[in-house]
């Protein structure tokens, strides 16, 4: 019940976001440059390591603050290269890692490499959250709490909980969406209830604002808003390699940014770097094949455009493997 790599759900165009879900499977800071600003961010991160110890301590919910527009997070699904992963994060100004954690991590063979990665990250002043998720989690939230959440907490390694569940990948999504939505929200309720002082965050596709949901009061709502109400913040999988214009990152993420601002919840914008496929729909969702320098031009425009949102919380790069493979 655990994946170490993720599908890519942000394939709807801004003009066709209400298309059938089956289509998703088929294909639904002025410019920064790679030097100056990134070097400044990296330098500040290193100098702030000691001061950041409280904010990166395990379960330090009271010590954490809403990330700023210049914050950058990164998903880490492959934990087998701790030194290289943290070196990448430090050199590119990443200040938060979502690190994949298997079920029963306290007895997992992966625990030593995860400990190594977290120790190196914490020494560099980088916050680390436990990352996990699987569409099947919606059907057994008690299993998730017992075999994933509690063991992850018991390691004492993490500052927060970060889930990437993607319930639209279940077969029931196309036949009984309201039930899947309700189950997903129940899962988030149970995670929050059992997380203690650990803040819980979730990944969401940009089009969740179009999915109906029911508020706890019984009023009509949308899935993005109900997720935000139950979490400390969200990361939107707003995967586009153009910042502006129709169907660009800012366009597809606009509704989620507005919802986050209205609810006072931090919203990060995710950006993809892995190879997704050879079609035009695949290509527009990723910076695969770009240089980091060219990508930074687009990311700077995203930050500039999203900074007007009161709760914009920076960017998140998917993922460490794809990012590391990019040419400078």
319 pLDDT above the threshold of 70: yes
The model's pLDDT over 181-208, given as tens digits with 9 standing for 90+, comes to: 999 999 999 999 999 999 999 999 999 9
pTM of the model: 0.84
Strand 233-237 vs strand 200-205: parallel, antiparallel, or unpaired? parallel
Percent of the chain scoring above 90 in pLDDT:
79
CATH of the domain at 319: 3.20.20.80
pLDDT score recorded for residue 57: 59
Q: How confident is the model at residue 67 (pLDDT cuts 50, 70, 90)?
A: confident
In sign, the C-alpha dihedral spanning 260, 298, 97, 184 is positive
By the 8 A CB rule, do 131 and 75 touch? yes
65 pLDDT above the threshold of 90: no
By the 8 A CB rule, do 151 and 106 touch? yes
Q: Answer whether residue 23 is part of any domain.
A: no
Q: Answer whether residue 44 is part of any domain.
A: yes
pLDDT score recorded for residue 6: 47
- The total domain count for the chain is 1
4 pLDDT above the threshold of 50: no
Q: Answer whether residue 22 is part of any domain.
A: no
Enclosing domain of residue 243 = 29-60+68-325
Percent of the chain scoring above 70 in pLDDT:
80
29 pLDDT above the threshold of 60: no
Q: Answer whether residue 241 is part of any domain.
A: yes
Q: Answer whether residue 111 is part of any domain.
A: yes
Q: How confident is the model at residue 9 (pLDDT cuts 50, 70, 90)?
A: low
The model's pLDDT over 209-250, given as tens digits with 9 standing for 90+, comes to: 999 999 999 999 999 999 999 999 999 999 999 999 999 999
Q: Answer whether residue 127 is part of any domain.
A: yes
Q: How confident is the model at residue 30 (pLDDT cuts 50, 70, 90)?
A: very low
Q: How confident is the model at residue 295 (pLDDT cuts 50, 70, 90)?
A: very high
80 pLDDT above the threshold of 70: yes
Write phi, then psi, for 63 (nearest 5 degrees). Answer: -90, -10
Q: Answer whether residue 13 is part of any domain.
A: no
Q: What burial letters (b/e) apply to 185-212, b meaning 16+ CB within 10 Å?
A: bebbeebbebbeebbbbbbbbbbbbebe
- Tell me the C-alpha distance between 178 and 99, whole Å: 31
Q: Answer whether residue 294 is part of any domain.
A: yes
């Amino acid at each position: 019940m655990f994946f170490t790599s993720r599908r890519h759900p942000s394939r709807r165009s801004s003009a066709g976001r209400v298309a059938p879900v089956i289509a998703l499977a088929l294909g639904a800071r002025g410019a920064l440059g790679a030097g100056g600003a990134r070097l400044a961010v990296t330098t500040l991160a290193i100098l702030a390591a000691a001061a950041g110890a409280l904010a990166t301590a395990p379960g330090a919910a009271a010590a954490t603050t809403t990330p700023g527009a210049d914050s950058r997070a990164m998903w880490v699904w492959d934990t087998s290269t701790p030194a290289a992963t943290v070196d990448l994060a430090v050199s590119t100004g990443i200040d938060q890692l979502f690190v994949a954690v298997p079920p029963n991590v306290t007895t997992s063979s992966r625990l030593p490499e995860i400990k190594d990665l977290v120790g190196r990250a914490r020494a560099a002043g980088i916050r680390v959250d436990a990352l996990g998720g699987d569409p099947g989690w919606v059907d057994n939230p008690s299993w998730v709490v017992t075999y994933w959440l509690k063991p992850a907490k018991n390691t004492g390694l993490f500052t927060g909980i970060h889930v990437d569940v993607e319930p639209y990948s279940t077969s029931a999504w196309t036949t009984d969406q309201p039930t899947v939505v309700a189950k997903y929200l129940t899962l988030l309720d149970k995670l929050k209830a059992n997380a203690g002082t650990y803040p819980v965050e979730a990944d969401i596709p940009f089009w969740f604002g179009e999915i109906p949901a029911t508020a706890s009061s019984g009023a009509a709502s949308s899935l993005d808003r109900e997720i935000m109400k139950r979490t400390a913040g969200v990361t939107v999988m707003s995967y586009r390699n153009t910042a502006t214009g129709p169907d660009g990152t800012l366009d597809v993420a606009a509704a989620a940014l507005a919802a986050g601002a209205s609810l006072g919840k931090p919203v990060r914008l995710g950006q993809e770097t892995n190879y997704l496929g050879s079609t035009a729909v695949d290509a527009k969702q990723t910076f695969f094949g770009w240089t980091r320098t060219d990508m930074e031009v687009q990311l700077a425009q995203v930050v500039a455009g999203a900074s007007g949102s009161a709760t914009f919380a920076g960017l998140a790069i998917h993922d460490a493997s794809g990012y590391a493979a990019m040419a400078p």
